[in-house]
Structure 1
Amino acid sequence: MPLKLIQRGEVWYIRGTVGAGKESRAVYETTRLRDKKLAAQYRRKREAEIVRDMLEPRTFADAAKAHGERGGSLRFVDRLSKHFGKRDLSSIRQVDLEAAGRAIYPDCSRETVNRQVFTPFIAVWNCASINQWVPVRKWQRPRKPKGTRIIRAQPTRAGSKPTTYDQAAKFVEAMSPAAGMLMTFLFYTGMRPIEAFMLEATDVNVPGRWVSLSHTKTGEPRGVPMHEFLVPLLEALVGRGGRVFRTQRGLPYEEKDEGGGQMKSAILGARRRSKVPGISPYTARHTVSTQLVVNGVHPHIKDQILGHAVDDMSRHYTNVPQKPLIEAINTLPVSDSWRALEWWEDPIKATKKLAKGTGKRTDLKK
């Protein structure tokens, strides 16, 4: 049947079928309008859009472009675009997504495939569903095989495990101030490194203890609570405007689609000087997640702080207010040695300094 207006309470909905046979598309959606005349205009416009999409199907490339325009991260999306090409987005099924994972990363772990195939694909799909190009769909992510307790020995990737906050403090103390400030921020927000690299001063509300992110991995904007320990640091860094975190040379970090490399020298140097191995920027995120669990923080609150992709439908409808999130992040411990770092006195002035014991000429000493 053609699209018709149906009133539900005070709001008008459109319902019906566009097309016929296998090419038909069932529609039932809200206009979000209370005025019948405006709702009728919406119905005509929406029906025309659906007909156009049926004649000229939206491709994955179209959805990927829209995802980027909405501020979503394009990290790993290019490889998906090359794989799916100009394929009709609505024709992609679960089996196709799993095949893409095997084709793009044939020798990688399920964690890598989940992170670099499923997560960006789902973000692009969700953007397309917001644009009403495709229906909302729940995709099944790679799962750990059941029925076996065999542990396969394999190299441990740096940053894939949490550390203690005492070890983190020791590691940060061995870094140059600019890099140490960024790592401190990561250890007390749990943000993804790429989110911190791109953070602008306008995204940070220091008095409200809140960071607003418009560019995220999932493509959805989110808020991140700020630990009270970070207040004096961010007051200084936000006050200069522009990009919050910069390199020792005062340059903003670059956004790299393949990720990694922005802090390589700083991380390797700190590992050598501190004798604390295995730490990378992503270690902070694992550490925050683990410590919040140890502190008894509710899983829904933890997931909202970290901006985890939500598979459990009950969590789609959970929106925790800011106050409990701020209270939860403030349970993260702060050691006296971390508070005693010299750069807290004047963060801006300290950003140009080198790590202790580096950059000095020793060959001229007798």
Structure 2
Amino acid sequence: MPLTIYKRGKIWHLRGTVAGRLIRETTETSDRKTAERIKAEVESRAWQRRLDGPGAGLTMAEVFHAYLDADKSDRFLLKLAQHWKDTPVAEVYPETIRRAAKLIYPEANEPTWNRQVIKPTQAAINYAAGLGWCPRISVKRYTEDPEIKTPATIAWVRAFHTQALVDGLPHLGALCMFMFGTAARVGESCRMTWGDVDLSLGTAKLYLFKPTPWNRVAHLQPELVAAMANLPTNRKTDELVFDYTGRGSLRGAWNNVCKRADIERLTPHCCRHGFATSMLQAGYDVKTVAERGGWKDAATVLRTYAHAIKDRSVTNVLFDTPAAQEAEKKIPSIRKIRRKKA
């Protein structure tokens, strides 16, 4: 059946066989003349591939379509498709991709360029290479110098929670404790509804949708259960537990609580770092820490989330001498803070 155009709703579509290849796709236009031009271009590319090989005339748009049709992750692909459009794959070189990263995300840094441009673009092209459409490509990553985050400690978390209660922000205080106690990300925590929580069993179900949808059940420690149980709420199953919609909605209040509590201004993600570091320093193996904290790869825990003890005297343990631990700042109680305010 020759390639024809037909209308579905207001949009023209293509259907038929060209050079032995079945084609069914949309022209994404409601203009018939434009649709006819697209039809001619599709026919030309199909014959070019038939005569010159499958990689002839291959475009980045076709590469991304094939990648998505194979149920690969669509994370970051929208901006990539908008940038590359119908650029021939033959004109895409490793350095072209590296430069594209800076053009697409001019305000970003090396980890973002690697994660959101270089890695997915290379993956899509190499998937097409696996189909025999084009040669494989290898792109040198940008050297990353990741910002070292300070892990939250239980003392810091309790100070934050105490100040949040004084400030009339119980949901924010409980959120901080929750992220530290479960290693939950901000997005996971803010999406959680009361229907996902069972305080009597001390469990909470967390959902992560990117890069691959999955869920896990986190354990809630008694102190955390108490903090959540004391939240002023009707606990409707569809009601958000912590009353915040995401990182942006809590940033200002979070920083203000840190300032009033006179503690270091850590980010919410430092609570996840604190979970991993505290568990490892308590003697638990990295596999257990990864399992309990929702990391699929234990190596990620060691590479990114584990932080060394700064006290040099820890090596005294080699001679059975107690280490001289750094004295932690004494955390005031709610009562003392209220007296001070009065």
TM superposition score normalised by structure 2: 0.51
Instruction: Give the 3 Å change call, closer, same or farther, for CA 202–240 of structure 1 in structure 2.
Output: closer
- Kindly state the Cα deviation for residue 61 of structure 1 after the two structures are TM-superposed: 11
- Kindly state the Cα deviation for residue 90 of structure 1 after the two structures are TM-superposed: 12
Q: Which residue of 2 aligns with 1:104?
A: 104
Q: Which residue of 2 aligns with 1:57?
A: 62
Q: Which residue of 1 aligns with 2:209?
A: 215
Q: Which residue of 1 aligns with 2:151?
A: 162
Aligned mates of 2:334, 2:90 — CA distance in 1: 54
Q: Is the aligned partner of 1:225 residue 2:218? A: yes
> Which structure's CA Rg is the greater one?
2
- Kindly state the Cα deviation for residue 117 of structure 1 after the two structures are TM-superposed: 4.8
* Kept in 2: contact 1:213–1:221 (CA 8 A): yes
* Kept in 2: contact 1:60–1:89 (CA 8 A): no
What one-letter code is carried by the residue in structure 2 that aligns with 1:57? Answer: E
Q: Is the aligned partner of 1:241 residue 2:237? A: yes
Q: Which residue of 2 aligns with 1:182?
A: 175
Aligned mates of 2:62, 2:139 — CA distance in 1: 21
Aligned mates of 2:292, 2:54 — CA distance in 1: 43
* Alignment root-mean-square deviation, CA: 5.4
* Kept in 1: contact 2:184–2:272 (CA 8 A): yes
Deviation track 1:135-175 (CA, whole Å, cap 9, x = no partner) reads xx999865548xxxxxxxxxx97x93213220221122112
Aligned mates of 1:231, 1:212 — CA distance in 2: 16
Q: Among residues 280, 302, 305, which one is paired with 1:293 in the alignment?
A: 280
* Kept in 1: contact 2:188–2:208 (CA 8 A): no
Aligned mates of 2:280, 2:98 — CA distance in 1: 31
Instruction: Give the 3 Å change call, closer, same or farther, for CA 291–94 of structure 1 in structure 2.
Output: farther
* Kept in 2: contact 1:174–1:270 (CA 8 A): yes
- 1:279-358 equivalent positions in 2, closer than 5 A: 279-308=266-295, 310=297
* Kept in 1: contact 2:151–2:273 (CA 8 A): yes
Instruction: Give the 3 Å change call, closer, same or farther, for CA 88–227 of structure 1 in structure 2.
Output: farther
Aligned mates of 1:198, 1:173 — CA distance in 2: 24
Aligned mates of 1:163, 1:112 — CA distance in 2: 24
- Kindly state the Cα deviation for residue 275 of structure 1 after the two structures are TM-superposed: 0.8
TM superposition score normalised by structure 1: 0.48
* Kept in 2: contact 1:211–1:226 (CA 8 A): no
Q: Which residue of 1 aligns with 2:34?
A: none
Instruction: Describe the SS at the equivalent of 2:249.
Output: coil
Q: Which residue of 1 aligns with 2:245?
A: 253
- Kindly state the Cα deviation for residue 84 of structure 1 after the two structures are TM-superposed: 3.7
Q: Which residue of 2 aligns with 1:13?
A: none
Aligned mates of 1:272, 1:103 — CA distance in 2: 37
- Percent identity (aligned): 17
- Kindly state the Cα deviation for residue 78 of structure 1 after the two structures are TM-superposed: 5.1
- Identify the structure with the greater helix proportion: 2
* Kept in 2: contact 1:209–1:226 (CA 8 A): yes
* Kept in 2: contact 1:57–1:88 (CA 8 A): no
